[in-house]
Amino acid sequence: MPKSKPSVIVTRRLPDVVETRMRELFDARLSLDDRPMTQAELVEAVKSCEVLVPTVTDTIDAAVISQAGPQLRLIANYGNGVDNIDVQTALNRGITVTNTPGVLTEDTADMTMALILAVPRRIAEGMAVIREGEWNGWSPTWMLGHRIWGKRLGIIGMGRIGQAVARRARAFGMSIHYHNRRRLPGSVEEGLEATWWESLDQMLARMDVISIHCPHTPATYHLLSARRLKLIRPEAFVVNTARGEVIDENALARMLEAGELAGAGLDVFEHEPAVNPKLVRSKRVVLLPHMGSATIESRVDMGERVIINIKTYQDGHRPPDRVLPSML
């Protein structure tokens, strides 16, 4: 007798090829309209399904998990981070949590490098001048930015994405520095020509560009606090393609407005989709709508990882991308 298909609820629209494969393999209920589920809808979902497939826009907190039915055994997150999920509460309820690590690395690193180039070279400002019909021709002293060749890049969080950014930045002639919970093996440091700073404060005070690549956890909330932002030199730039909550966004906006930082490139925000109005008004900032991993290839790869995790769990094995509280 064939094994019954697990009931799966997908909270958002996914690429067609991914949704089609899920329908073939599972008893999958797909999202008809591409919007975040409300808390009430999430509660109804966890009461009825065996597998929930949420995204970063779905808050699966203790209030939701506590109302899950006994049949819910897997939360297969469609995304790299799991800060939207209370992993500890899920574990206490016997629910496995998985994510999709690795598949976003190169695309997010590409976008980070794009911002590292765009902010010092004032690319968004230049585009605005053209679109608004205000360009009067080339001038030797107009729209001057800064070169990145020879500048120091300070990477906060030297995991897969941080290292991928380091490889790209080296090719642009940047000097690589990093702060991480654990120092990288010597062979990796040597390959990246990277300098480790045990003290984040000391690193921040010496860099030309700061790029954030750590996850959002209770320990990293406002890691770049108002105090730490004040340590950064006024000539330096801040780039964030990780999570908005890692930066005290109000403090960053105030400093940019006051000219206490040269500029910022932001793909993520503390209260998405809301963006601080001071950031929107600032010419010192390049703003993107959380599109660091937005390529067809990565979104399909993410779906394939979700499917692998569900299939592996269904077959009675440990999913390859299981997340535990100790990993956060």
The answer to whether residue 271 is catalytic is no
Query: Among 19, 125, 257, 272, which one carries the catalytic annotation?
Result: 272
DSSP helix/strand/coil, 179: strand
To the query of whether residue 243 is one of the catalytic residues in this protein, the response is yes
The helix-helix angle for 16-25 and 296-314 (nearest 10°) equals 10
> Residue 112: helix, strand or coil by DSSP?
helix
Question: Is 272 one of the annotated active-site residues of the chain?
Answer: yes
* Contact predicate 252/284, CB 8 Å: no
Task: Calculate the CA 238 to chain-centre distance.
Answer: 15
> Of these residues, 243, 284, 299, 305, which one is catalytic?
243
Burial of 91 (0-12, 13-18, 19+ CB in 10 A): middle
* DSSP symbols for 224-278: B-HHHHHHS-TT-EEEE-S-GGGB-HHHHHHHHHTTSSSEEEES--TBTTB--HH
* Dihedrals phi, psi of 304, to nearest 5 degrees: -65, -35
Q: CB neighbours (10 Å) of residue 102?
A: 14
Q: Are 208 and 153 in contact (CB under 8 A)?
A: yes
Residue 63 one-letter amino acid: A
Helix (H, G, I), strand (E, B) or coil at 74: strand
**Residue positions annotated with a catalytic role:** 243, 272, 290
